Amino acid sequence: MIINGVTIDDTFAEAFGMRGTRVIITAQNLRWAYNAARAMTGFATSVIACGVEAGIERELTPEETPDGRPGVSILMFAMSSAVLIKQLETRMGQCVLTCPTAAAFSGIDEGYPEITRINLGKNLRFFGDGFQISKVFNGKRYWRVPVMDGEFLTEETTGMIRSVGGGNFLILAESQPQALAACEAAIDAMSKIPNVIMPFPGGVVRSGSKVGSKYKALIASTNDAFCPTLKGITKTELSPEIESVMEIVIDGLTDPDIRVAMRAGIAAACELGAKNGIKRISAGNYGGKLGPYHFKLREIMA
Amino acid sequence: MIINGVTIDDTFAEAFGMRGTRVIITAQNLRWAYNAARAMTGFATSVIACGVEAGIERELTPEETPDGRPGVSILMFAMSSAVLIKQLETRMGQCVLTCPTAAAFSGIDEGYPEITRINLGKNLRFFGDGFQISKVFNGKRYWRVPVMDGEFLTEETTGMIRSVGGGNFLILAESQPQALAACEAAIDAMSKIPNVIMPFPGGVVRSGSKVGSKYKALIASTNDAFCPTLKGITKTELSPEIESVMEIVIDGLTDPDIRVAMRAGIAAACELGAKNGIKRISAGNYGGKLGPYHFKLREIMA
Amino acid sequence: MIINGVTIDDTFAEAFGMRGTRVIITAQNLRWAYNAARAMTGFATSVIACGVEAGIERELTPEETPDGRPGVSILMFAMSSAVLIKQLETRMGQCVLTCPTAAAFSGIDEGYPEITRINLGKNLRFFGDGFQISKVFNGKRYWRVPVMDGEFLTEETTGMIRSVGGGNFLILAESQPQALAACEAAIDAMSKIPNVIMPFPGGVVRSGSKVGSKYKALIASTNDAFCPTLKGITKTELSPEIESVMEIVIDGLTDPDIRVAMRAGIAAACELGAKNGIKRISAGNYGGKLGPYHFKLREIMA
Amino acid sequence: MIINGVTIDDTFAEAFGMRGTRVIITAQNLRWAYNAARAMTGFATSVIACGVEAGIERELTPEETPDGRPGVSILMFAMSSAVLIKQLETRMGQCVLTCPTAAAFSGIDEGYPEITRINLGKNLRFFGDGFQISKVFNGKRYWRVPVMDGEFLTEETTGMIRSVGGGNFLILAESQPQALAACEAAIDAMSKIPNVIMPFPGGVVRSGSKVGSKYKALIASTNDAFCPTLKGITKTELSPEIESVMEIVIDGLTDPDIRVAMRAGIAAACELGAKNGIKRISAGNYGGKLGPYHFKLREIMA
Contact C62 A272 (CB under 8 A): no
Q: If DSSP codes are grouped into helix, strand and coil, which group holds residue D227?
A: coil
Select from C176, C178, C270 the residue whose CB has the most chain B CBs within 10 Å, as the one to mutate to test that interface. Answer: C178
ipTM for the complex shown: 0.83
Q: Span B174-182, mean pLDDT?
A: 96
| Domain regions of chain D by residue span | 2-14+164-300, 19-161
Question: Residue D59 pLDDT > 90, yes or no?
Answer: yes
pLDDT digits (tens, 9 = 90+) for B237-272: 999 999 999 999 999 999 999 999 999 999 999 999
β-bridge partners, A211: A220
Domains B2-14+164-300 and B18-161 equal at CATH topology level: yes
pLDDT digits (tens, 9 = 90+) for D200-238: 999 999 999 998 899 987 888 999 999 999 999 999 999
Kindly state whether D26 is in contact with chain C, defined as any CB-CB distance less than 8 angstroms: no
Q: What's the gap in Å between the CA of A15 and the closest CA on chain B? A: 19
Contact A129 B214 (CB under 8 A): yes
Taking CB atoms and an 8 Å cut-off, how many pairs form between chains B and C? 42
Judge whether D293 and D14 are in contact, CB under 8 Å: yes
pLDDT digits (tens, 9 = 90+) for C227-239: 999 999 999 999 9
Residues 129-148 of C with CB under 8 A from D: 129-131, 145-148
- Non-local (6+) Cβ contacts of A236 within 8 A are A224, A225, A226, A227, A230
Q: D228 vs C126, D233, D235, D242, CA distance in Å?
A: 18, 10, 11, 7
Taking CB atoms and an 8 Å cut-off, how many pairs form between chains A and B? 268
- For residue D84, the model assigns a pLDDT of 95
Contact D277 A276 (CB under 8 A): no
**Pairing mode, strands D103-106 and D12-26:** antiparallel
* Longest Cα–Cα distance in chain C: 68
Judge whether D98 and C206 are in contact, CB under 8 Å: yes
Distance linking the first and last C-alpha atoms of chain A: 9
Query: Can you name the CATH fold of D19-161?
Result: Alpha-Beta Plaits (3.30.70)
Contact D276 A182 (CB under 8 A): no
Q: Where does chain C show beta strands of DSSP type E?
A: 2-3, 6-8, 12-26, 53-60, 71-78, 103-106, 116-119, 133-137, 140-147, 150-155, 157-173, 196-197, 209-211, 220-222, 244-252, 278-282, 293-296
Q: Span B5-30, mean pLDDT?
A: 97
pLDDT digits (tens, 9 = 90+) for C244-293: 999 999 999 999 999 999 999 999 999 999 999 999 999 999 888 889 99
- For residue C130, the model assigns a pLDDT of 94
Q: If DSSP codes are grouped into helix, strand and coil, which group holds residue B223?
A: coil
Closest CA to D170 of D196, D199, D208: D208
Question: Residue B120 pLDDT > 90, yes or no?
Answer: yes
> What's chain A look like in SS3?
CEECCEEECCCEEEEEEEEEEEEEEECCCHHHHHHHHHHHHCCCCCHHHHCCEEEEEEEECHHHCCCCCCEEEEEEEECCHHHHHHHHHHHHHHHCCCCCCCEEEECCCCCCCCCEEEECCCCHHHHHCCCCEEEEECCEEEEEEEECCEEEEEECEEEEEEEEEEEEEEEEECCHHHHHHHHHHHHHHHCCCCCEECCCHHHCECCCEEECCCCCCCCEEECHHHCHHHCCCCCCCCCCCCCEEEEEEEEECCHHHHHHHHHHHHHHHHHHCHHHCEEEEECCCCCCCCCCEEEEHHHHCC
What's the rounded Cα separation, in Å, for the pair C186 and D218? Answer: 46
Q: C137 φ, ψ to 5°? A: -140, 125
CA–centroid distance for A136 within its chain: 32
What's the rounded Cα separation, in Å, for the pair A142 and A122? Answer: 9
Kindly state whether D236 is in contact with chain A, defined as any CB-CB distance less than 8 angstroms: no
What's the rounded Cα separation, in Å, for the pair D29 and D37? Answer: 13
Query: Can you name the CATH fold of C2-14+164-300?
Result: Alpha-Beta Plaits (3.30.70)
Q: Span B178-192, mean pLDDT?
A: 96
Chain C positions touching B180 (Cβ under 8 A) are 177, 181
Backbone CA torsion sign across B193, B199, B204, B207: negative
Judge whether B194 and B58 are in contact, CB under 8 Å: yes
Architecture per CATH, domain B18-161, reads as 2-Layer Sandwich (3.30)
The band of D290, judged by pLDDT with boundaries at 50, 70 and 90, is confident
Kindly state whether C171 is in contact with chain B, defined as any CB-CB distance less than 8 angstroms: no
Question: Residue B211 pLDDT > 90, yes or no?
Answer: no
Kindly state whether C181 is in contact with chain A, defined as any CB-CB distance less than 8 angstroms: yes
pLDDT digits (tens, 9 = 90+) for D259-268: 999 999 999 9
Question: Residue D33 pLDDT > 90, yes or no?
Answer: yes
What's the rounded Cα separation, in Å, for the pair A190 and D201? Answer: 25
Chain B positions touching D189 (Cβ under 8 A) are 61-63, 70
User: Cα–Cα–Cα angle for C82, C86, C89, nearest 5°?
Assistant: 145
- For residue D262, the model assigns a pLDDT of 98
User: Cα–Cα–Cα angle for D172, D173, D179, nearest 5°?
Assistant: 95
Q: Which residues of chain A register pLDDT less than 70?
A: none
The band of D287, judged by pLDDT with boundaries at 50, 70 and 90, is confident
Residues 275-294 of A with CB under 8 A from D: 275-277
Give percent of chain B with pLDDT exceeding 70. Answer: 100
Contact C268 A70 (CB under 8 A): yes
The band of D181, judged by pLDDT with boundaries at 50, 70 and 90, is very high
Q: C84 vs C87, D83, D123, D232, CA distance in Å?
A: 5, 23, 29, 39
pLDDT digits (tens, 9 = 90+) for C28-50: 999 999 999 999 999 999 998 99
- For residue D263, the model assigns a pLDDT of 97
Chain D positions touching A243 (Cβ under 8 A) are 275
- For residue B290, the model assigns a pLDDT of 85
